[in-house]
Chains A and B, each alone.
Chain A
């Protein structure tokens, strides 16, 4: 079982460049999430998709866009990268259509992104 797969694992960009982070899950989960992890700040939600065809902003959406391409895939795009977007990005997915909050999210291994 692959679970949640993120690509690439590492990337270095120059300020102003664009990039798409890819995420795919093979667990037939309904909801998918993008977080960023910064030192001393835990994980913060960027965007989420409660189901195929829907996306919504999270806590820190500025500078990002997302696409829920199909049920399996949820991509995160940086249109014009800035040094403040240097971070580790995690994708997560969850099975239920939010009938209960008890089921955990399943996380990928992350993409470490540096912007110079």
Chain B
């Protein structure tokens, strides 16, 4: 079956530090890979995505590269801000029987301190 494994949090960083949140997956077929972000009290929002191997998704200074050889999609940011504090979910996305089947990781909470 399909699964997503994320590093456990919380991750606590000082402002302007470098961020990496690891994500690995197992999948049948050819999935797309997404990162969603959840700010306190809100629903999930798409942060970035990649649809095939070697694609790089990027948004708001965050980047992630779809690595088929290592089955990974690690999230990185060069300099985090306090406003980046949130929970980040890695997700594997496939079409299944006419609907979009999303397998979510367990989420990684990021706390950025001034």
Residues of A within 8 A of B (CB): 4, 31, 40-45, 48, 50, 56, 90, 92, 94, 97-98, 100-105, 107-110
Contact = CB atoms under 8 A, between A and B. Distances in A.
Contacts, number: 61
B46 interface: yes
Interface residues of B, number: 27
Contacts of B44: 43, 90, 92, 107
B28 interface: no
A41 B32 CA distance: 21
A40 B89 CA distance: 11
B11 interface: no
Given A90-B44, A107-B43, A101 B104 contact: no
B77 interface: no
Given A50-B98, A98-B95, A108 B105 contact: no
13 contacts: A42-B89, A43-B102, A45-B101, A90-B43, A92-B44, A101-B32, A101-B95, A102-B32, A102-B93, A104-B36, A109-B41, A109-B43, A110-B43
